[in-house]
Structure 1
């Protein structure tokens, strides 16, 4: 299939998933132009694709690409010579699992740090007012006020952030940061010495939010210097420089702390969300280390979880056993996630059902 000479990427230079896609395009040396969205372009892209989110990629002949995960999968097929997909089935599944984790678990703490802290919120609301809302004919202070209240309502209040849950949301970042520091202080990339899909899965939150926003960035610099270095290195990585470096074929021992979080928190959370969708509930309750969250049910995350489950079920038994032998906690969590419903964690609440892409908008 023909590819445009230069991809037109509609997004923002402070956007979680725009940053993920940009890092991938830079690494693959795919020329692109970042078209900074305003509200009119956001609506235009949404009308073209049927989805109000970013980034969106303008393709050939009026065609569009949407969703960073699916865009990367599509481009991997077009440019397999610089692939980021491990060839060994067990390692490839782990890379896909960690992309899901980076995209869907780190979203809440990333938005929390951006909008719950006064100095971060002041900075980012100003940037959005001057950028995304530059075409809105209102004074800057009114645009800032509108942005701040919108973001806090959607990404804090509606996403289960309360005074009683805030510390646990912060812990989601700190625990993941510590697990990544354990990995990246010993090896160059998440799965080994060559960049893979797992790196780009973590990159959206780790780059545009945790690395750039003042409060989480200060934490990263002091608490996880190896992660800080990895963020900068990946932005400057060219995959062609690693062509002669073998893809990882074993699951490193260094990943065990990270997999404990995936098994104990992420997989049960994704399963609970899916069960809520299947039961027709708009919200569900989830217990994270003794902190009870009331969360909106997200259809998109249910779809991601269904893909993950299907991939796991399609693995040959010996490949499943290989994953289980490496990390029994993860193996047990995977078995529960694909086999047993956990409706005991589900409870519907009478609020409006969120749109499919609410959690993926900005």
Structure 2
């Protein structure tokens, strides 16, 4: 259904991690949109049959095209040209922005869900109000119970909870120091990395009462960045004369290096264990090119792996989607000259992030007809 004006339709809800990413991007770019809840009749009668599963966000363009997934929504507009590109000009900055986006959209899911559901009693009124607003009062408790049940798949339990909280406090301290000197991760405009982090740091950790109060009191510069990311355009009055460009010469500010080292400390060995699980899955089942990654479109996990988070043993579900995200880093690196590729790999090795690049494995994850599928390479 084509729109009568130039307004896009964004199907989502305020408390959704991935909707928040798309919303921030649309606001930054000044793209006209209307946000529509999933209770809207159009979502059920027109959108769900197209995307084949209940998932948000979904963007409908004025021409009637459908784009599902926050990162795909960003790339949809990047291909058309926007004022503030989310992809820095420097190769190292571009690759790191994808790795940080992976950290925010995948590795921080335990942080987001732990602070939302492990502290449910302390923030029940707020959570019920938010879920009821998005799905109706009758469905709110059912959806909340289902979301609460995801904790084990994310590796959230009594053993990992203290490390998840220690990780969050470390992240707040690191980002607070960085955003005291820079408005965004790589300079004067948000990168894909900023958009990846805003997902959990807005929808869950920046809105739910318990973690949001912690952010405000411990890391006010981070809370201000959250406000900045959710404002129209670039909201940087604290940085007069800073400009809206990325840092020159592919520069990485010293204040960002602690974040990169924390990411390396936390995504491994979980990431390498999940990739090894998928390698074995492909070896055993030899799926055809284009075959869906799971038996049913709504099933995003393909198994469970024994791994560790910050040295604590844990079981975690394996989502092939993680490979869909990180392949962007491989693709961007391949665009660079041999000299620049070597320079980037050297920097990644220094921060312990070399294994964040999946590299050639004979397969990858693609999206066709809005569903993740195996792609043979």
Q: 1:132, CA displacement in angstroms? A: 3.1
TM-score between the two structures when normalised by the length of structure 1: 0.82
Q: 1:30, CA displacement in angstroms? A: 0.3
Q: 1:336, CA displacement in angstroms? A: 7.4
- The alignment status of 1:189 with 2:218, answered yes or no, reads no
Question: Which structure 2 residues correspond to residues 36-115 of structure 1 after superposition, within 5 A?
Answer: 36-38=37-39, 43-44=44-45, 45-115=47-117
* Counterpart residue number, 2:148: 152
1:197-230: CA deviations, max 9, x gaps? 2222211111121111111111111111110111
- The structure that is helix-richer by fraction is 1
Q: Secondary structure at the match of 2:270?
A: helix
* Counterpart residue number, 2:133: 131
* Counterpart residue number, 2:8: 7
Q: 1:340, CA displacement in angstroms? A: 11
Write the distance in 2 (CA, Å) between the matches of 1:145 and 1:244: 46
Contact 1:133/1:143 (CA < 8 Å) preserved in 2?
yes
Write the distance in 2 (CA, Å) between the matches of 1:183 and 1:126: 34
Contact 1:263/1:334 (CA < 8 Å) preserved in 2?
no
Write the distance in 2 (CA, Å) between the matches of 1:56 and 1:294: 31
Write the distance in 2 (CA, Å) between the matches of 1:12 and 1:21: 11
Contact 1:267/1:337 (CA < 8 Å) preserved in 2?
no
Q: 1:101, CA displacement in angstroms? A: 1.6
Write the distance in 1 (CA, Å) between the matches of 2:242 and 2:172: 29
Q: Secondary structure at the match of 1:131?
A: helix
Contact 2:308/2:315 (CA < 8 Å) preserved in 1?
no
Assess, with a 3 A threshold, how the Cα gap between structure 1 residues 283 and 300 changes in structure 2: closer, same or farther: same
Q: 1:86, CA displacement in angstroms? A: 1.0
Write the distance in 2 (CA, Å) between the matches of 1:58 and 1:50: 15
Question: Which structure 2 residues correspond to residues 272-287 of structure 1 after superposition, within 5 A?
Answer: 272-280=273-281, 282-287=303-308
Q: 1:70, CA displacement in angstroms? A: 1.0
Write the distance in 2 (CA, Å) between the matches of 1:162 and 1:275: 23
Q: 1:15, CA displacement in angstroms? A: 1.0
Question: Which structure 2 residues correspond to residues 15-34 of structure 1 after superposition, within 5 A?
Answer: 15-34=16-35
Q: Secondary structure at the match of 2:149?
A: helix
* Counterpart residue number, 2:247: 248
- Across the two proteins, how many residue pairs are aligned to each other? 333
Q: 1:266, CA displacement in angstroms? A: 2.0
Q: Could you tell me which runs of 5 or more consecutive residues in structure 1 were left unpaired when the two chains were aligned.
A: 135-139, 342-355, 358-362
> Aligned Cα RMSD in Å?
2.9
TM-score between the two structures when normalised by the length of structure 2: 0.79
Write the distance in 2 (CA, Å) between the matches of 1:305 and 1:83: 19
Write the distance in 2 (CA, Å) between the matches of 1:123 and 1:14: 11
Contact 2:59/2:68 (CA < 8 Å) preserved in 1?
yes
Q: 1:143, CA displacement in angstroms? A: 3.8
Between stretches 318-327 and 44-53, larger displacement belongs to 318-327
Assess, with a 3 A threshold, how the Cα gap between structure 1 residues 314 and 239 changes in structure 2: closer, same or farther: same
